[in-house]
Each structure stands twice: as C-alpha cells, then as structure tokens.
Amino acid sequence: MATLHRSLVGLTIFVALACSRHSTQYVIGAAGPQQLAYGKQNQRGIDLAVAEINRAGGIHGVPLRVVVRDDKASGVDAAKVAAEFVANRDVIAVVGHVGSGAMVSAARVYHSGGLPAIGTAPSSPDLTGMSPWVFRMITSDSVNGVTLARFASSLSTPLGRPVRAAVLYINDAYGRGLAEAFERSFQGDIVSADPVGTDEPLEPYVAYYKRLQPDVIFAATVDDIGIPLLDEARRQHLTAMFLGGDGWQGVVTDSAAEGVYVGTPFTAQNPDTAVQRFVAAFQAQYGVAPDAYAALAYDATKLVAQAIAAVGPNRKKVRAYLASLRDGHPFHGVTGVTHFASTNDPLGNMVRMTQAHHGLLIPVTEAGIAGGRVQ
C-alpha cells in the first residue's frame, strides 16, 4: 500500500507539474533561416509580436514564450527542426517555416506528428492541400504568378504591340513554381525562359537579354540574385523593365533598383493606421523598416496567439480554430484580412504591385513613376 501511495503521489505531482507548465507560460516554435537577411526580418516580426502580446498581459494573463530554431533554409534541417517541435509537448503551434523548400519538408513531419504550423512566406504550389495541419500566410505562386503576369501584360509598348518578356528563375521550388504560373498567364510573347543557379555569373544572361531586347524581364529569384543582376544590367546599359516577385523585396537597398516593379503582400508605405503603427514600432525596435517577411511573421504570431486565447493550449483545437476562419470571422492583420480555404491557403491577402523609388516600395497606384527601366 505504501508503494501504491507513493506512486499515486508521484503521478499527482507529475500531472500538477505538467499543468503548471501550461499555466505559467504558453510555448510556440519559430523556425527560419536565422543567419540570412530575410530570416532575420522574419524573426524580428515574431519577436515584436510576442513582446507586444506579453506587454499587454500575455494570453489571458499567461506569457507567451518562443523556442527559436534555425532551419538554414534546408529541407533536411527543416525536417529535423519540425521533429524536435513535434516531440516537445510544450510546443502548442509553430510559426514557420519561411522558404518553400523548408516548409514542404517540414510539413510532412507536422502532419504525422499532429502539430499545427503556419508558414510565413512559403509560396510553392506544392503546399496547397498538403496537410490539414499546415497553413501559410502568403498566397501560392500559382496565384501570385497570375497577378504578376497580368501586370506585365498591361505594360505599354511601342505602337501598342504585345509585350515581349524574358523569364529568369532560380532553379528551386520557389523559382520554378512562380515562373511556371507567370508563363501560363502572360498575355504577350515569352522570348526566353532560363534557370539560374545561386552562384552563376550573371554577365552572360544580361548580354543575352541585350540581344533579345525584351520589353520586360521577369525574375523569379531572391534578392541575392536580383541585386547583382540589376547591377550588371546597369553596367551593360540594358534598358528592359524589370519585374520581381516577393523574393525581390530586398532589391530596394541597391541604387540600380530605381523604377523596378515588385509584387509583394506588404509595403511599409501603406497609409493604413494599423500598418503605420506596426512600422513605427518595428523601426523603433530595430532601426530599419519592416518588409513583407517581418509583417507576415508578425501576423502569423498574432494569429497563433488569438487561436490559443480562443481555444486553449491544445494542438488539435488550435488547428481546428485556424481552419474555421471564414469570411464572417477572418483575422485582421497588417498584411490584410486573412482566412483559409479548405486547402489551408490564405484567402483575402494578395500580392500588391509596387515600384522601387528612392529605396522604398511604393504602391503602383500611388507611385506616379514612369518607366520601370534601369537607369
């Protein structure tokens, strides 16, 4: 009997400790490429959201804590991080991952482990309907590519002839998906479609485009390729218009980006009161303006906190809450109004066309900037 009594006391203490962990703090995971520029912006968005939540009293008085892991923008590392989060029963949900390749690999682990995750910026069409446990804040490239293609098709050309476009894409899940969607919806002539590696010299591509003379060059790459591409275009006096997807947000830091068009789900120049409040807080904390990576991560964190506040620290209930968001009860964030389709892709938050002007991304409808050509 004494042994049984000790066992029952031990079980009671274990249960009490388990409950106290949830009553003293709520834990979420955060995953992204922490050493890369866009990964740092992503994490800053998460950290700012958590700081604001905790300053306001936490979630029903319980503080929110984040376990941060670096997925190195690698599918292999992302899967390992996801497995760690699944195994840690304190982790209620995950904000991440950022890149498409990382999210696709991690999604399988979250699905089998029953852990809800909200990807901040993974736009690959491969994620659509992949798992009921995996959501994302950014629309699929199958949608984004249509928006970008329609915009490119509408650009003016001499004598009103169809727009001639060259497509350059990074040879990964993001680049291929966005390029394919663009090519399917573009209403002009595609004169070239070329994959590019992250370490390839760009001089031959620019020289080739000078011979082709397209009206617009659509680049489905990240800014690590975009910036040297624009610098090389300036060096060779290539006068085509340049258009990039959300991976080109960072090109505005380069002087050669003046006039370049970028499709993005967020711009710090949006005059909306909530957006400007976020921008001011972000700049005060980090000394730089937030980009879409920061804004999407900020919104994803606030959404996870809203779910926990509504249904408690339960993985299944949090997943069900996210899936239940609909037109009548969407989430309102700095990137717009978000709810999810049955595929867990976001509805209501689309990419917006902007143009680089003096280091800023200005909404095209307000820019009043002509050309879009490298000067």
User: Which candidate, 226, 154, 158, 217, places its Cα nearest to that of 185?
Assistant: 154
Residues in the chain, overall count = 375
Q: What Å distances lie between residue 31 and 77, 103, 121, 210, 249, CA to CA?
A: 10, 10, 12, 41, 20
Provide, for the chain, the percentages of residues in helix, strand and coil under a 3-state DSSP scheme, each rounded to the nearest 5: 50, 20, 30
- Give the CB-side neighbour count of residue 158, counting CA atoms within 13 A: 5
Q: 114-119 — which CB contacts under 8 Å span 24+ positions?
A: 114/86, 114/315, 114/316, 115/82, 115/85, 115/86, 115/91, 115/315, 116/315, 116/318, 116/319, 116/322, 117/29, 117/82, 117/93, 118/93, 118/94, 118/300, 118/303, 118/304, 118/322
Beta partners for 339?
A: 347
Burial class (CB in 10 A: 0-12, 13-18, 19+), 236: middle
CA dist., res. 79 & res. 81, Å (int): 5
The HSE-up count of residue 356 (CA atoms within 13 Å, CB side) is: 28
**The dihedral sign for the CA sequence 238, 234, 198, 35:** negative
Give Dmax over CA atoms of the chain in angstroms.
96
Contact (Cβ atoms closer than 8 angstroms) between residue 117 and residue 138: no
Write out the two tokens for 73: 């923008």
Q: Which of 94, 83, 79 is nearest to 27 (CA)?
A: 94
Contact, 96 vs 117, CB < 8 A?
yes
Instruction: Give the type of residue at 139.
Output: T
| Residue 23 pLDDT | 61
Task: Delineate the domains of the chain, giving CATH numbers in brackets.
Answer: 2-139+271-344 (3.40.50.2300), 142-264+353-367 (3.40.50.2300)
pLDDT of amino acid 365: 67
User: Could you tell me which of 56, 73, 54, 74 has the C-alpha nearest to residue 64?
Assistant: 54
This prediction's pTM: 0.88
Nearest to 263 by CA among 350, 163, 162, 196: 350
Say what the pLDDT of residue 348 is. 75
Q: What are phi and psi of 280, to 5 degrees?
A: -65, -45
Joined tokens for residue 220: 């489905």
Give per-10-residue mean pLDDT for the chain (375 aa): 42 38 83 95 98 98 98 97 98 97 97 98 94 97 95 89 96 92 97 95 97 97 95 97 94 94 94 96 97 97 98 98 88 94 89 92 64 44
Identify the pLDDT of residue 198.
87
- Residue in 314, 126, 329, 158 with CA at minimum distance from that of residue 241: 158
